Amino acid sequence: MELTKESIAEWFKKLQNDICFSLEKLDGKSKFVEDEWERSEGGGGRSRAIQGGNLIEKGGVNFSAVSGPTPEKILQALNLSQAEFFATGVSIVLHPENPWVPIIHMNVRYFEMSNGVWWFGGGIDLTPHFVIPDKAKSFHQHLQSTCDKHSPNFYHKFKSWADDYFFVKHRNETRGIGGIFFDKLGDKEGRSKEEQWSFVKDVAETFIPAYQDAVQRLRDEKWAIEDKKWQKIRRGRYVEFNLVHDKGTKFGLDTNGRTESILMSLPPEVNWEYSHQPTTDLQRETLASLKKGIDWINA
C-alpha cells in the first residue's frame, strides 16, 4: 500500500484511540472527553482531555490534521517558498496528581508541502519533579531499545538533540531528564519515507510501556505538603519552557490552530515563588541533575 498523507493521518487517529484506551485503564477512574474542531483555513482535529483521575490530574491526547496556504511566519522560520502545507500528528502531555510521578510528553508528526517537501518529527521526554536515577535509567533504556531497532546511532543522536531542545535557557537547566527528539527527518538522511515512518511508529508505540514503567511504584508513594509545593514550582519551569521556547506551541498558534488544544500541555495549578530555594536534599539533587549530557543508562 502506498504511503500517503491520508494513510499517515489515519494511523495517527488510531494511535490516539489506542493510547487513550490504555491511559484510561492505567488511571482506573477518569475518562477522556473529546472535542472535534475544524480549522477555517483547512483541516481540524480531535482533542481529548482527562482530569481528576487516580493517576492523572490533567492530561491531553490530541490528534490534528491541518492544511492550507503556509503562513508567512512558518515560511520565514523554515526558509521555504510559498506552497500549500499539510501537517498531522499526535501530541500528549500528562500531569500527575502525585508529585512523585513525572510529567511525560510525546509528539509524533508528519509535515508535507505541495512542492514535494516532506519530513517527520517527534520524540518522547520525561520531566520528573524528583529525579530518581533508577527510573531515569529505565526510561532511557526503553528509548534506546526502540532506536537501536533502526540505527545504532539514533539513540545518542536524538538524546543529544533532546538535551539541547528541552533546555530552559533563562534558567540554565534542562526541562527534565530529556529523552529523544528529532525533527525534519526527510530523504536527505538517505532513508526512504517508509523507513522514516517505521521509526516514527515504533517511537509512538514506546509511549505506553515507557509511561507504565515510569509510574510503577511511584504512583502509590505518600507525599507531604512540601512535596506538592515543590511540584507546583517545577510545573512553573515546564510552563516557562512551553510558552517561551517550544516550537510546537508557536507552530500551532501561528497556523491558527485550536488554542485550547495547543495549551492543553499546561498544568492545572502552578506556583512562582520569588527566589525559591530547594529545602531538601532530594530537591537539591534534582536541580543538580537538570543538565545536558548525562548518561542516564550508565550513570
Q: Which helix (H) or strand (E) holds 90?
A: strand 84-96
- Report the Cα–Cα distance between both ends of the chain, in Å, rounded: 44
Q: Strand, helix or coil at 174?
A: strand
Q: What are phi and psi of 165, to 5 degrees?
A: -75, -50
Q: Which residues contact 42 (CB under 8 A, 6 or more apart)?
A: 66, 67, 68
Residue whose C-alpha is closest to residue 202's, from 146, 159, 154, 148:
146
- Side chain identity at 183, as an amino acid letter? D
> Which neighbouring-strand residues pair with 220?
none
Cell numbers 508529585 correspond to 99
List 173's β-bridge partners, or say none: 168
Burial tier of 134 (Cβ tally within 10 Å: 0-12, 13-18, 19+): exposed
Give, as one character, the DSSP assignment of residue 154.
Answer: H
Candidates 105, 129, 140, 142; catalytic one: 105
- 237 is written with which cell numbers? 519551569
C-alpha torsion angle, residues 158, 149, 136, 59 (rounded to 10): 80
Q: Is 105 a catalytic residue?
A: yes
CA distances from 273 to 57, 62, 86, 129, 140 (A): 22, 31, 42, 16, 32
d(CA 31, CA 20): 9
Q: Scan for cell 500531569, then name that residue.
A: 95
Residues acting as catalytic residues: 105
